[in-house]
Structure 1
Amino acid sequence: MDCLFCKLINREIPATILYEDDDVIAFEDIMPQAPVHFLVIPKKHISTLNDISEEDAPVIGKLPIVAAKVAKEKGVSDDGFRVTMNCNEMGGQTVYHIHMHVLGGRQMTWPPG
């Protein structure tokens, strides 16, 4: 498999890791779109939101918990932050391993784009 995020999980490519446990890893985005921009991903490879199964629910449920924990550590939880997940090409997904973007440290606008 030639998945960028799987390579990151396997330490084949470097990343600034902010959180890690047996199921989930969070790391700094390499092209940040806000003063705080990190990703939260499951260690299990799941290509898109459409590919999540019922058995994945416990791991997927950890993603927002980790996002909130790291957002607090980064100092953006009180002012607020944005969480987004893209699905497939029209949704803006560029890496086909599901991932949650967490952005903060500036005022977000709506609609997002």
Structure 2
Amino acid sequence: MFCAIVRGEAEASVPYADDRVMVIMDIGLVTPGHLLVVPRVHAVGLEDLDEETSTHVWRIGHRMGRALRRSGLRCAGVNLFLADGEAAFQEVFHFHLHVFPRFEGDGFRIAAEWGTRARDLLDQEARAVRSGLQELEFPSAEKGSDHDLSA
């Protein structure tokens, strides 16, 4: 559906567009003013989207959040939400960033079993993430060590 919208073959209410993204009003909204920042290039998720386009999506999401606060719509806060993969509640398999206004009593909740982790487990997980960065050949992947707050 998003590809059809981007190509102009399906209807959408568009508050912003440029050569890389289109921002559309979400028809399945959480709150009035719910926006979707959709890249013009098709990408299913994070693995399929180049970092430059992803950075632009987040930049525009930031601007849209600021615009929502100034829009006159009910907006005491803003959520930026990305669902990457079915396990993360992705329902439309074209990368997109949700930007939606929040206010008391709006009904949106994120429920989880929040907890704390032992430092040794956190250190082990940090090493695993650094290993993943090295696989991506990320230049600063070798920086950082357990307990290093500057990493």
Please state if 1:93 is matched with 2:113.
no
Identity of aligned residues (%): 26
Partner of 2:65: 68
Question: Quick one: distance in 1 between partners of 2:95 and 2:78?
Answer: 19
Amino acid at match of 2:77: G
Question: Quick one: distance in 1 between partners of 2:46 and 2:36?
Answer: 15
Question: Quick one: distance in 2 between partners of 1:94 and 1:57?
Answer: 19
User: Where is the helix percentage greater, Structure 1 or Structure 2?
Assistant: 2
Partner of 1:33: 30
Which moves more between the two structures, 19-28 or 44-53? Answer: 44-53
Contact 1:46 1:97 in 2 (8 A): yes
Aligned pair partner of 1:103 in 100, 104, 114: 100
Amino acid at match of 1:112: I
Contact 1:34 1:103 in 2 (8 A): yes
Amino acid at match of 1:64: G
Please state if 1:17 is matched with 2:14.
yes
Aligned pair partner of 1:8 in 5, 9, 32: 5
Cα 1:60–1:32 change in 2 (3 A) is: closer
Give the number of aligned pairs: 110
Gaps of 5+ in 2: 112-151
In the TM superposition, what is the alpha-carbon distance from 1:67 to its structure 2 partner? 2.4
User: Where is the strand percentage greater, Structure 1 or Structure 2?
Assistant: 1
Q: Deviations over 1:2-24 (max 9, x none)?
A: xx111001111101111011111
Gaps of 5+ in 1: none
**Which fold has the larger relative contact order, with Cα–Cα distance below 8 Å and residues 6 or more apart in sequence?**
1
Q: CA RMSD in A?
A: 2.6
Question: Quick one: distance in 2 between partners of 1:11 and 1:110?
Answer: 31
Cα 1:42–1:28 change in 2 (3 A) is: same
Cα 1:32–1:87 change in 2 (3 A) is: same
Contact 1:63 1:100 in 2 (8 A): no
